[in-house]
Structure 1
Amino acid sequence: MMLLKNMVRGLEQDAPAKQLIQCWDHDADTLKYWRASSNFVYTFEREGQRQFLRFIHAEDNTPENIQAELDFVLYLLDQGYPAAAPVRSIDGNWIETIQSERGPYYGVVFEQASGTYVPMDQMSEAHLESWGRSLASLHQLSEAYRPENTSRGSWTDAIAWIASVLDRYPQETALRQQLGQVTEQLAALPVGSGYTGLIHYDFETDNIFYQEEEGRYCAIDFDDAMVHWFMMDVASAAADLLEQEGANAERSMQLFLDGYRSVKELDERCLRALPVFQRFEDLYRFARLLRSLEGFEELPAPPEWAVRLKHKLLGICHRIRERYSVQAVTLQPVDAGNWLACTHLEVANEQRSLFPVPAVYWLAESAYCGFTPLALYEGEQLAGLTVYAVDPDDGSYWVMAYMIDHKFQGRGLGKAGMVELIRYIRARSGCDKLKLGHRPDNERAARLYAALGFEEISLQHGEVIRELRFLGDSL
């Protein structure tokens, strides 16, 4: 991801694009903006054929990196591998440089990739297997690649770069800890022939185009390529594959892996380390997004689209951060010191139909019916309320109420608090099972309880009843 401030400046009146396109043959008045993310990309026509102008500010890339990318693409093409081919400029150069008042821009042009874009939800079994075969074929060629004058960075360079970004943000302690763990786990994996080489890094659905007659994919966008484990490319594809529903995700992943294995052996040890590679991708993405927002305040009056994009990127960073944040959740009795604060706890507005009873009701019922209310804290902050009880008829334990205040939602406290509640009840009761109920339309609760092992056992009085059975010392 380029610096957002550079994105804003580079799109002003399309000035860099209009200057760079003069370096290549093109049909007049055909230049059009297409997208901007890691690079600026514009489309244009040359003798009626669509081509792509891609450029970047000098703060965001170097000519050496771009040339190394082009050398790899040219090698693949020479070996018969389908990829979008670069186009020389009028002066015979692969890369052209222009000067602007804000510094240099480096531009390249590519032909349009052959083939058809196939969305994930429209992929057949043949598409999925071909995806795996195409990636394995790329990796085979990568193993034999010996660049003469250029080279790309490696995973260790990326680790060092991530660390340099995180060092500018001392508060990111959880991600810094994750980076140390990922570095150690990757360093323990086998390297060399069959394991590592120059990978695409972004061999996902938006960068591949299916060639129907040949039954293979044509690839674009090798600008993120680095020396890494081949499994890293598999992990990137898996991120797309596993977004599907349940069995479909498993089936799609298996077809992809079958296609890969039909061309190249897939090391099982590296395959088992798939979560490690996915964490590397999270960390690398987080660092790139965080870096992209640096200097945004230098813009005197950023356009509204840039402000919206900034908040979107911050949201992605927040979600990644939350995946690795360790929540310090504790349960404390409701007493004279905190009961009043507990009455002020509220769910989000859209949840009121699911939790129509205010917190004060549960405190009153607990006082008169023998229930046990507990206050849920994140650190020293009151974040939620839960109530549990024992059925006098059969001695079974029930979670009667469980809620997280609206100000603390979306931070992983729901799951962390429920895990702590289960441990709390087990430690004090020795019970072998725990029950609870929720409304059928409360999908968020259903997902949470199912993930923790609560099985649906019945439907009573308009509520789904779930039961968690304890095995040994689980939870």
Structure 2
Amino acid sequence: MLKLKYLFDNRDLAEMILENWEYDLSSLKLFDYYRISSNAIYPFQYNGKTRLLRFSPVAERDKNNIIRELEFIRYLKSREYPVLSTVPSKDNKELVEVDTPWGKYFAVVFDRVAGIQLGEIEYTQEICRKHGEYLGKLHRLSSEYKPDKRLRWSYEDVLEWIEKELEDFPNEILAKQEAKMVRDYLSKIPKDDQNFGLIHYDFELDNIFYDQSADRLNIIDFDDAMYHWYAMDIERSLNNIISETSCEDYSMLRENFIMGYTQEFNVSDEMLLYMPMLRRFANLYGYTRVLVSAKETWDNEPRWMLDLRDKLMSIMEQDSMFFGKQIK
């Protein structure tokens, strides 16, 4: 997520950035439905069609990662995989760098996909199987993806970032120990074209929309994509299903998810056994992101920020539960 200082609603900034695209002036009222986490997202319309402006500070993002994210989205669309579409700017640019009074920002505009988020509908066994199927197809296409230029970052780059950021936190002894343990363990996991590639990393219910009229899922938010074992995406998806659905029979959901997945792409039993370890990577990464985001503090912080800090502290406690403990 972004540093807390970037989480304020700034509509002047959003409108200034949006001037690089065509838009309906009357639709700026949709800015009321903004959200900010890893990026700021402000909805608007052009010719009555809803679009989403996404922007983030240049200081918080790697330009190459954004370029490769958009390149991967274009590839998936060329293979008829249902992902969100980018909208070119007035200057026919997909990625725009904007100099503002609040600093420099990267910005992209996407068309809103059709459907309702999986988290907003009844998550049936059938939907779960479809959820797994679409992840399997994504991984099959990823295994065939051969970009010509520099790759998007990998789990190894993430670990380097974690270790570098933790240097600024001398008291985070367990987190540093966890980073070393995770790095050592991951170095021993087999890696080949069929189990390792570019993954979504955030293939969760709020990033997947069910279009009932077409009976298909539409996928958004590739912002966290990285090179990793495909089983990482499976672990993240199943973990999210546990936390966000009310189904009492998780074993049946898991079975249906894997069943749908293997209709499109294979995953070995051996790789599934690594998922608890992959969860340690995810917890460490999430912990460090929150740690860095919340580092700065200010006098007289607004109530929403104080409440957010309490929530983030709870998340960090959960993520760090197994730090430093033996990996089995």
Q: TM-score range by the shorter chain?
A: over 0.9
Q: Which residue of 2 aligns with 1:15?
A: 12
Name 1:128's counterpart in structure 2: 128
- Shift in alpha-carbon separation, 1:120–1:195, aligned structure 2, 3 A: farther
Counting only pairs closer than 5 Å after superposition, residues 412-423 of structure 1 correspond to structure 2 as none
Aligned partner of 1:294: which letter? K
Superposition map of 1:346-361 within 5 A: none
- Deviation at residue 121 of structure 1 after TM alignment: 7.2
Residues 27 and 44 in structure 2, CA contact (< 8 A), matched pair in contact too: yes
The gaps in structure 1 that reach 5 residues or longer are 327-475
SS at match of 2:13: helix
Task: Please say if residues 177 and 323 of structure 2, whose CA atoms lie closer than 8 Å, have aligned partners that are also in contact.
Answer: no
Q: How does 1:273-288 map to 2 (within 5 A)?
A: 273-288=274-289
What's the CA shift for 1:171? 2.0
Give the deviation of 1:178 after TM superposition.
2.1
| Aligned twin of 1:317 | 316
CA gap of 1:266–1:21, structure 2 versus 1, over 3 A, is same
Q: Distance in 2 between matches of 1:25 and 1:286?
A: 39
Contact kept? 1:63, 1:95, Cα under 8 Å: no
| Displacement of 1:117 | 1.8
Partner of 2:262: 261
Question: 1:179, CA displacement in angstroms?
Answer: 2.0
- In structure 2, C-alpha distance between the alignment counterparts of 1:121 and 1:44, rounded to whole Å: 24
C-alpha contact 1:242 1:253 (8 A) present in aligned 2 = no
Q: Compute the displacement of 1:110 (Å).
A: 0.2
Paired residues for 1:308-387 under 5 Å = 308-324=307-323
Distance 2:247 2:223 in 1: 33
**1:3-42 CA distances to partner (integer Å, 9 max, x unpaired)?**
111223xx23x12201011111110131214200000000
Shift of 1:64: 2.2
* Equivalent residue letter for 1:208: I
SS at match of 2:26: coil
Task: Tell me, in whole angstroms, the C-alpha distance in 1 between the residues paired with 2:324 and 2:26.
Answer: 51
Aligned-partner Cα distance in 1 for 2:282–2:201:
9
Note the C-alpha offset of 1:174.
2.1
Q: CA 1:121 to 1:214, structure 2 compared with 1: closer, same or farther past 3 Å?
A: closer
Kept in 1, the 8 Å contact 2:117–2:208? The answer is yes
Aligned-residue offset at 1:99: 1.5
The code of the aligned residue for 1:58 comes to: V
- Matched with 1:71 is 71
Query: TM-score when scaled to structure 2?
Result: 0.92
Question: Partner letter of residue 111 of structure 2?
Answer: E
CA drift at 1:45: 0.7
Q: Structure 1 pair 96/230, CA: closer, same or farther in 2 (3 Å)?
A: same
Distance 1:315 1:259, change over 3 A: same
- Equivalent-residue separation in structure 2 for 1:37 and 1:247 (angstroms): 30
For residues 212-264 of structure 1, the C-alpha deviation after alignment (integer angstroms, 9 at most, x for no partner) is 35543211000100000000000101112233578511111110011001111
Answering whether residue 252 of structure 2 is matched by residue 251 of structure 1, we say yes
Question: Does the CA-based 8 Å contact 1:200-1:226 persist in structure 2?
Answer: yes
CA distance 1:245–1:30, shift in 2 (3 Å):
closer
Q: Note the alpha carbon deviations across 1:356-390, whole angstroms, 9 max, x for none.
A: xxxxxxxxxxxxxxxxxxxxxxxxxxxxxxxxxxx
Matches within 5 A, 1:186-335: 186-243=186-243, 248-297=249-298, 301-324=300-323
Q: CA deviation at 1:304?
A: 2.4
- The answer as to whether partners of 1:131 and 1:216 remain within 8 angstroms in 2 is no
The 1:52–1:246 alpha-carbon spacing in structure 2 relative to 1, beyond 3 Å, is closer
Counterpart Cα distance in 2 of 1:49 and 1:96? 21
Q: Classify 1:16/1:246 alpha carbon distance in 2 versus 1 (closer, same or farther; 3 Å).
A: closer
Q: Does the 8 Å contact 1:76/1:83 carry over to 2?
A: yes
Match of 1:296, SS? coil
Q: Is the 8 A contact 2:178 2:324 kept in 1?
A: no
* Secondary structure in 1 matching 2:305: helix
Q: Unpaired runs of 5+ in structure 2?
A: none
Three-state SS of the structure 1 residue aligned to 2:99 is strand
> For the residues of structure 2 that align with 1:101 and 1:19, how far apart are their CA atoms?
10
Query: Given residue 293 of structure 2, which amino acid in structure 1 is its aligned partner?
Result: S
Secondary structure of 1:315's partner?
helix
Q: Is the 8 A contact 1:132 1:257 kept in 2?
A: yes
For the residue of structure 1 that corresponds to 2:264, the secondary structure is coil
The answer to which of 29-38 and 275-284 deviates more is: 29-38
Number of residue-to-residue matches in the alignment: 321
Structure 1 counterpart of 2:286, one-letter code: R
In structure 2, do the counterparts of structure 1 residues 59 and 302 end up closer, same or farther at CA, with 3 Å as the change threshold? farther
Q: Which has the greater radius of gyration?
A: 1
* Pairwise CA distance, 1:192: 1.8
Tell me the amino acid that sits aligned with residue 180 of structure 1: K
Could you say which residue in structure 1 is the equivalent of 2:83? 83
CA contact (8 A) 1:45 1:51 kept: yes
User: Cα–Cα, structure 1 residues 177 and 115, in superposed 2: closer, same or farther, change >3 Å?
Assistant: same
Q: Could you say what secondary structure the match of 2:116 adopts?
A: coil
**How far did 1:191 drift?**
0.8
Kindly indicate whether residue 15 of structure 2 is the aligned counterpart of residue 27 of structure 1.
Answer: no
- 1-structure distance, mates of 2:181, 2:109: 40
8 Å contact 1:134–1:216 — kept in the other structure? no
Q: Between Structure 1 and Structure 2, which shows a larger proportion of strand residues?
A: 1
Name the structure where helix makes up a greater proportion of residues: 2
Cα distance in 2 for partners of 1:228, 1:153 equals: 9
Name the amino acid aligned to 1:277. Answer: L
Aligned AA (1:75)? Y
Give the C-alpha shift of residue 165 in structure 1. Answer: 1.9
Corresponding position of 1:143? 143
